[in-house]
Amino acid sequence: MLDRFSIKIIRSPLALLAAGIDKLGVTANQTTLFGFGIGVLAFPALYFTHYDLALILILLNRLCDGLDGALARRQGITDAGGFLDISIDFLFYSLIPFGFVVANPEQNAVAGAFLIFSFIGTGSSFLAFAVMASKRGIENPIYKNKSLYYMSGLTEGTETIACFVAMCLMPQYFATIAIVFGIACWFTTVTRIYSGFQTLK
C-alpha cells in the first residue's frame, strides 16, 4: 500500500549511490547476493537474541534490495536479475520470522508459523499474477521500471519492513505483531486473488 510513496522518496538517493557504485564495476546481481548474505546473518543474530544487531542487518539488506534495482536501471534490467531478486526477497522475508521462532519457540512458534503461512499467500498470489500478466502483456502503470508486474496490496515491502523493525524493537510482542500482520497479509491475498481473477477473466 505504501510502496508507491516510499519508492518516490528513496529513488533519488538510491540513484546517486548507485552511480558511485556503478563506477566501481559492481553489478546489480552482485549487490542482490551481497544483500542476501547480510540478511542471512540476521538469523543467528535473532537466534542469540541480539535484536539490535538483527535490526541493523535487516535494514542493510533492504538497502541493498533497493540499490540493486537502482543499479539494474543503470546497467539494464534483465529477466535473470529480476528472477534472482524476487526469489531471494521471499526467502529473506520468511527467514526473519523463523529467526524469532527459534529464539523463543515456546512463545513465538505458532505466531511465526502463521506469519510464514500468510507470506505464502501474499507471495504466491503476487507471483502467479505476474506470470499471467507477462503472458498477456499487461503492464503496471505505477511500477513501470520493474522486471515483473508488481501487484499492489495492503501489505507490501514497506509494510513488511516496518513489521520487522517493530519486531526487533519490541521482541516481547513478536507474537502479537506477527498475528496482526499475518491477518493483514491474508486481506492482501484475498483481494489480490479476487482482483487478479477478475482482471484475467
What single letter denotes the amino acid at residue 57? Answer: L
**3-class state of residue 107 by DSSP:** helix
The pLDDT of residue 10 is 85
Residue with cell 523463523: 98
- Cβ atoms of 3 and 156 closer than 8 Å: yes
The domain that contains 164 carries what CATH number?
A: 1.20.120.1760
- In which domain, by residue range, is 18 found? 3-200
The pLDDT of residue 54 is 98
The pLDDT of residue 154 is 85
The pLDDT of residue 9 is 82
How many domains does the chain contain in total?
1
Residue with cell 502483456: 137
The radius of gyration of the chain from alpha carbons, rounded to an integer in Å, stands at 17
Measure CA 26 to chain center: 22
The pLDDT of residue 166 is 98
Which DSSP state fits 49?
A: T
Given a cut of 50, the residues of the chain with pLDDT beneath it are none
**CA–CA distance, 150 with 90 (Å, rounded to integer):** 14
The pLDDT of residue 141 is 55
Query: Which alpha helices (DSSP H) does the chain contain, by range?
Result: 3-23, 28-40, 42-47, 51-75, 79-103, 105-136, 157-169, 174-200
Output phi, psi for 113, to 5 deg: -65, -40
CA-closest candidate to residue 148, choices 160, 131, 164, 162: 131
What lies within 8 Å, CB to CB, of 141 at 6+ separation is none
CA-closest candidate to residue 73, choices 145, 150, 12, 144: 145
The pLDDT of residue 7 is 79
Which DSSP state fits 150?
A: -
The pLDDT of residue 11 is 84
- Cβ atoms of 57 and 7 closer than 8 Å: no
